[in-house]
Amino acid sequence: MPKNSSSDMTDPLDSQIATLCGRVEALVPGCRAGVCIASADHTKLERSVFPNLPPTFQQAIKELPMGPPYIGCCTAAMQGNQIITVHDLEKESRFSDLFIATCLSHGIRSLRSRPVYGRAEAAIGTFIMGYGEPSDDQRFDLPYIDFAADAVGAMLQRELDRTRGPLSSH
């Protein structure tokens, strides 16, 4: 069960995401997994679920705006529909100093953010794997991120169908 999260763990979707993240973390030693979810209008991050990071992390990245200049890797991954990898945040220059400082102060020094898709081609979230030390591609190339991102996409699409109707794509 999640140790910490600012998202509402009484929400069934957040609980399911937290469980999936916890299982990825159990399979990948040293990993901190999480999910960022786009707002319905795709202008900001609506919320995030990082079950084993302090709530201050989720609070700090909530409502980050989408679009360039990208403040963080999650918004860049969603907007650009591409996987974003940061091998060492201490050497990173693509994202805001505030985002980098937030990650570092919460023990994340390297990360990979993969877009999460529902039925449409537009990303509706990202699945993130982070580590407390610099990491090379080999550490990120494990199959878990693809599986987890696809599973989260199915969960988010099911929630969209439930709240906006079965033909909803994002």
**DSSP string over 50-83:** -TBS-HHHHHHHTTPBPSSSPSSHHHHHHHHTS-
| Domains of the chain in sequence order | 12-163 (3.30.450.40)
Query: How far is residue 168's CA from residue 108's CA, in Å, rounded to a whole number?
Result: 34
Cβ pair 44, 37 in contact under 8 A: no
Per residue in 41-56, pLDDT tens?
Answer: 889 999 999 999 999 9
Of 163, 157, 160, 125, give the one whose Cα is nearest residue 47: 125
Per residue in 64-116, pLDDT tens?
Answer: 888 888 889 999 999 889 999 999 999 999 999 999 999 999 999 999 999 99
For the full predicted model, state whether its pTM sits above 0.85. Answer: yes
Neighbours of 145 (CB within 10 A): 21
